[in-house]
Chain A
């Protein structure tokens, strides 16, 4: 049973994930399917947004790509390297071309280190140049993320605000000049005004360093501003994947439609046409049979309970896993 209709054959695919499964054991000999047979690909220069509500496996997926969380099965092919089967030392060096930015900017930085030490750390690990070259590099990186090196170099990380910490974190992740940046909810802990600054910064850095981004978020308005493609996840499964415009204007999955309708529109005369989802997401320990969204889906039928929907074409480059997609 393959579910790969949406994977592209092009040669400029940078990351290709097939049938990735990540499981956690929980007390009582049960298994949580955090990520359940997920496949997708990312082309060079693209920004893929991964969206879904809390607990749908977005963060676990990000960590599994980096092999920080070992997947149970499936493949993660990055630049022709199969990351899941690399030895520990090969993985160490292969991983440097994928870096990650985390949700909590404060706990992303060691509170007992100065900004200089933090940004220098990746350069130190890989002995990139001598002391002076590294200091110059750190200064350039800090400049690029909009911090004045003279002011911040010797200050401790806890002296900075969340937005500034996220800038430092971005500077550190760019030090090794990675090809891909996985951003795990990088702005959800920040004020709205700061969010925009960090998103702009990420876009600038993407152009300057030729980055490919995977942007994990639950906030669809943030995602719309930055992504070229969107992948919607529900309970560890892909519901829908496609170009941002297409997914926004014509969501084919009922879950996506509900998510999009829940984004507030800052216009007092606008009357929201909500498509509410009822209830809570089911437990990932014991997911529903067939389509995992069927218990909360307005269009669910008998078929949805018996057969798991495969990804099928909804529009150009836009795929949906639903038996009864929206017109």
Chain B
């Protein structure tokens, strides 16, 4: 562990520290002695930074910003982890499978990936959420939990082709290596070849992209909320940004706080992903 830490450069160390803090808040956020994020303080509406009782201030309605950012991390990070986890698993399975089997299946899969990738992430996510999260009766909005589920599903669909293409490309570069041909000529079964030879060699490439994908999803969740189709009434970074977007001129801190936290988190995940990728490149060079 200490050896791993010493291999990081300064930006990576800062990023790992920041991500650790955020993950700590995801787990412990609701136990910390903070004001209730969904209750407003009638005596402190739109107060600035370092106000008594509200370290990061409040928004125009008197909701405590620190408490909202800390508790919002839970939903935002959970959405990112689940959709990247599920999307990554499905995408990698499709990518590895189709690259291993080749033929018409592979051509079709590649075509589908390219079609999905040709649509900008946000547009694709927006379209899916807009279609799925519309209730038949406009006067009764759909259940918030269902809404979270739909957002996770939509972002998963966005992630599948991103990781699927990486997995497919990495598999293609390994599948014709001679040790795979040797394994086949020794009578190894296809599923053993995939799990013993291909997956371990393809995984590092996927790890590196997973961190980048987490950043993409956090941004997408925020952007969906800003556009009014994300989480509207719950507690998440996106919800905060969406709710206060109109109050920017009266209480700018209510916009700055969630945006800065979100941006730092995305940068930190990207930095870790970049670090993993550069490590991967130097190791692949040796092989």
Contact = CB atoms under 8 A, between A and B. Distances in A.
Interface of A: 63, 66, 68, 92-93, 95-96, 98-100, 102-104, 106-112, 121-122, 125-126, 158, 169, 172-173, 176
9 tightest CB-CB pairs across the interface, nearest first? A102-B178, A111-B287, A92-B187, A108-B178, A122-B186, A110-B179, A107-B177, A112-B200, A107-B178
Contact of A110 (B185, B192, B197, B286): B197
Contact of B179 (A66, A92, A99, A107): A107
A68 B184 contact: yes
Nearest to B186: A122
Contacts of A121: 183, 186, 188
A98 B201 CA distance: 27
Interface string B168-190: 00000000011101111111110
29 contacts: A68-B184, A68-B185, A92-B187, A92-B189, A95-B185, A95-B186, A96-B187, A99-B185, A99-B186, A100-B182, A102-B181, A102-B182, A106-B287, A107-B179, A108-B182, A109-B179, A111-B287, A112-B201, A121-B186, A121-B188, A122-B186, A122-B187, A125-B188, A125-B189, A158-B286, A158-B287, A169-B182, A172-B182, A176-B186
Given A66-B185, A125-B189, 13 more contacts: A63-B181, A68-B181, A68-B185, A92-B187, A93-B187, A112-B201, A122-B186, A125-B187, A125-B192, A158-B286, A158-B287, A173-B182, A176-B186
A180 to B, nearest CB: 12
Nearest to A159: B286
A111 B185 contact: no
B185 A100 contact: yes
Nearest to B182: A108
Contacts of B188: 121, 125
Contact size range, B: 10 to 19
A109 to B, nearest CB: 6
Given A93-B187, A96-B187, A176-B186, A110 B181 contact: no
Per DSSP, chain B at the interface is helix
Nearest to B286: A158
A61 to B, nearest CB: 15
Nearest to B199: A112
B218 to A, nearest CB: 31
A95 B287 contact: no
Nearest to A67: B185
Contacts of B184: 68
Given A125-B192, A158-B287, A108 B179 contact: yes
B201 A110 contact: yes
B40 to A, nearest CB: 55
Nearest to B203: A112
Contacts of B185: 66, 68, 95, 98-100
A13 to B, nearest CB: 22
A169 B189 CA distance: 20
Contacts of A126: 187
Nearest to A125: B188
B157 to A, nearest CB: 31
A215 B187 CA distance: 22
A179 to B, nearest CB: 14
A173 B187 CA distance: 12
Contacts of A111: 201, 287
Which of A106, A109, A112 is the most central at the interface, judged by chain B CB atoms within 10 Å of its CB?
A: A112
B204 to A, nearest CB: 9
Contacts of A172: 182, 186
B178 A125 contact: no
Contacts of B183: 121
A125 B188 CA distance: 6
B190 to A, nearest CB: 10
Contacts of B286: 158
Contacts of B182: 100, 102, 108, 169, 172-173
Nearest to A92: B187
Contacts of A102: 178, 181-182
Which of A92, A158, A176 is the most central at the interface, judged by chain B CB atoms within 10 Å of its CB?
A: A92
Which of A110, A111, A121, A125 is the most central at the interface, judged by chain B CB atoms within 10 Å of its CB?
A: A110
Contacts of A103: 178
Contacts of A100: 181-182, 185
Contacts of A173: 182
Interface string B39-51: 0000000000000
Interface in B118-141: none
A126 B185 CA distance: 13
Contacts of B287: 106, 111, 158
A158 B287 CA distance: 6
Which of B177, B182, B183, B184 is the most central at the interface, judged by chain A CB atoms within 10 Å of its CB?
A: B182
Contacts of A108: 178-179, 182
Contacts of B189: 92, 125
Nearest to B284: A111
A91 to B, nearest CB: 9
Interface string B210-229: 00000000000000000000
Contacts of A92: 187, 189
B165 to A, nearest CB: 22
A172 B200 CA distance: 20
Nearest to B192: A125
A112 B185 CA distance: 20
A296 B141 CA distance: 82
A154 to B, nearest CB: 17
